[in-house]
Structure 1
Amino acid sequence: MEPDLFTAAAEERQEKDPAGSPLAVRMRPRTLDEVVGQQHLLKPGSPLRRLVGESGGGPAGPSSVILWGPPGTGKTTLAYVVSKATNKRFVELSAITAGVKEVRAVIDGARRATGGFGKETVLFLDEIHRFSKAQQDSLLPAVENRWVTLIAATTENPYFSVISPLLSRSLLLTLEPLTDDDLRGLLKRALTDERGLKSAVTLPEDTEAHLLRIAGGDARRALTALEAAAGAALDKGETEIGLQTLEETVDRAAVKYDRDGDQHYDVASALIKSIRGSDVDAALHYLARMIEAGEDPRFIARRLMISASEDIGLADPNALPIAVAAAQAVAMIGFPEAALTLSHATIALALAPKSNAATTAIGAALEDVRKGLAGPVPPHLRDGHYKGAAKLGHAQGYVYPHDLAEGIAEQQYAPDAIKDREYYEPTRHGAEARYADAVEWTRKHLGRRRS
Structure 2
Amino acid sequence: MSDLFDTTATSDDRMRPLADRMRPQTLDEFVGQAHILGEGTLLRRAIQADRLASLIFYGPPGTGKTTLARIIANTTAAHFTSLNAVLAGVKDIREAIQKAQYRQKHQQQRTILFIDEVHRFNKAQQDALLPHVENGTVVFIGATTENPYFEVNNALVSRSRVFELKALSTHDLRTVAHQALRDPVRGYGDLHVDLTEPALNHLVHTANGDARSVLNALELAVETTEPSDDGETIVVDLPVAEASIQQRAVLYDKEGDAHFDTISAFIKSLRGSDPDAALYWLARMIYAGEDPRFILRRMLIFAAEDVGLADPQALQVAQSAAQGFSYVGMPEGQFMLAECCLYLATAPKSNTAFAYFDALDFVRNEQTGDVPTHLKDPNRDSEDLGHGEGYNYPHAYRSHYVPQQYLPEDMQGTYFYEPTGQGYEATLQERLEALRARDADADVKKRAQRYANEARAEDESSA
Same structural fold, with TM-score higher than 0.5 when normalized by the shorter chain = yes
Q: Which residue of 1 aligns with 2:32?
A: 37
> Aligned pair in 2 of structure 1 residues 94, 349: CA closer, same or farther (>3 Å)?
farther
User: Are 2:170 and 1:172 aligned?
Assistant: no
Shift of 1:89: 4.6
In structure 2, which of residues 182, 185, 188 is the aligned counterpart of residue 197 of structure 1?
A: 188
CA–CA distance in structure 2, aligned partners of residues 28 and 307 of structure 1 = 46
1:76 partner letter: T
In structure 2, which of residues 138, 141, 144 is the aligned counterpart of residue 148 of structure 1?
A: 138
CA–CA distance in structure 1, aligned partners of residues 285 and 65 of structure 2 = 32
CA–CA distance in structure 1, aligned partners of residues 23 and 59 of structure 2 = 18
CA–CA distance in structure 2, aligned partners of residues 287 and 125 of structure 1 = 33
1:240 partner letter: V
> Aligned pair in 2 of structure 1 residues 317, 141: CA closer, same or farther (>3 Å)?
same
Shift of 1:307: 13
**Pairing of 1:178-217 with structure 2 (within 5 A):** 178-194=168-184, 195-198=186-189, 200=191, 201-217=193-209
> Aligned pair in 2 of structure 1 residues 27, 6: CA closer, same or farther (>3 Å)?
same
* Residues 29 and 81 in structure 1, CA contact (< 8 A), matched pair in contact too: yes
Q: Which residue of 2 aligns with 1:240?
A: 235
Q: How many correspondences in the alignment?
A: 321
> Aligned pair in 2 of structure 1 residues 220, 120: CA closer, same or farther (>3 Å)?
farther
CA–CA distance in structure 1, aligned partners of residues 285 and 131 of structure 2 = 51
Shift of 1:287: 4.9
Shift of 1:320: 11
> Aligned pair in 2 of structure 1 residues 226, 134: CA closer, same or farther (>3 Å)?
same
Shift of 1:74: 0.6
1:278-314 deviation per Cα after TM superposition (whole angstroms, max 9, x unaligned): xxxxx979953xx69xxxxxxxx9xx96997599821
Shift of 1:352: 10
Q: Which residue of 2 aligns with 1:103?
A: 93
TM-score by length of 2: 0.56
1:311-355 deviation per Cα after TM superposition (whole angstroms, max 9, x unaligned): 98212667999xxxxxxxxxxxxxxxxxxxxx99x9688369969
2:234 partner letter: T
Q: Which residue of 2 aligns with 1:219?
A: 211
> Aligned pair in 2 of structure 1 residues 356, 213: CA closer, same or farther (>3 Å)?
closer
Q: CA RMSD in A?
A: 5.0
CA–CA distance in structure 2, aligned partners of residues 65 and 130 of structure 1 = 17
Q: Which residue of 1 aligns with 2:116?
A: 126
* Residues 36 and 182 in structure 1, CA contact (< 8 A), matched pair in contact too: yes
Tell me which moved more, 100-109 or 32-41. 100-109
1:242 partner letter: D
CA–CA distance in structure 2, aligned partners of residues 37 and 145 of structure 1 = 34
In structure 2, which of residues 7, 11, 20 is the aligned counterpart of residue 11 of structure 1?
A: 7
CA–CA distance in structure 2, aligned partners of residues 82 and 175 of structure 1 = 16
Tell me which moved more, 194-203 or 88-97. 88-97
Q: Which residue of 1 aligns with 2:220?
A: 228
> Aligned pair in 2 of structure 1 residues 225, 118: CA closer, same or farther (>3 Å)?
farther
Q: Which residue of 2 aligns with 1:25?
A: 20
**Secondary structure in 1 matching 2:7:** helix
CA–CA distance in structure 1, aligned partners of residues 33 and 182 of structure 2 = 23
**Secondary structure in 1 matching 2:240:** helix
> Aligned pair in 2 of structure 1 residues 164, 198: CA closer, same or farther (>3 Å)?
same
> Aligned pair in 2 of structure 1 residues 355, 220: CA closer, same or farther (>3 Å)?
closer
Shift of 1:76: 0.3
> Aligned pair in 2 of structure 1 residues 53, 252: CA closer, same or farther (>3 Å)?
closer
User: Are 2:38 and 1:47 aligned?
Assistant: no
CA–CA distance in structure 2, aligned partners of residues 130 and 156 of structure 1 = 9
CA–CA distance in structure 2, aligned partners of residues 4 and 184 of structure 1 = 31
User: Are 2:76 and 1:86 aligned?
Assistant: yes
User: Are 2:336 and 1:350 aligned?
Assistant: yes
2:142 partner letter: A
* Residues 279 and 338 in structure 2, CA contact (< 8 A), matched pair in contact too: no
CA–CA distance in structure 1, aligned partners of residues 85 and 203 of structure 2 = 30
Structure 2 residues not aligned, in runs of 5+: 250-274, 290-294, 323-328, 350-401, 410-417, 436-463
CA–CA distance in structure 1, aligned partners of residues 44 and 25 of structure 2 = 14
TM-score by length of 1: 0.57
Shift of 1:160: 2.0
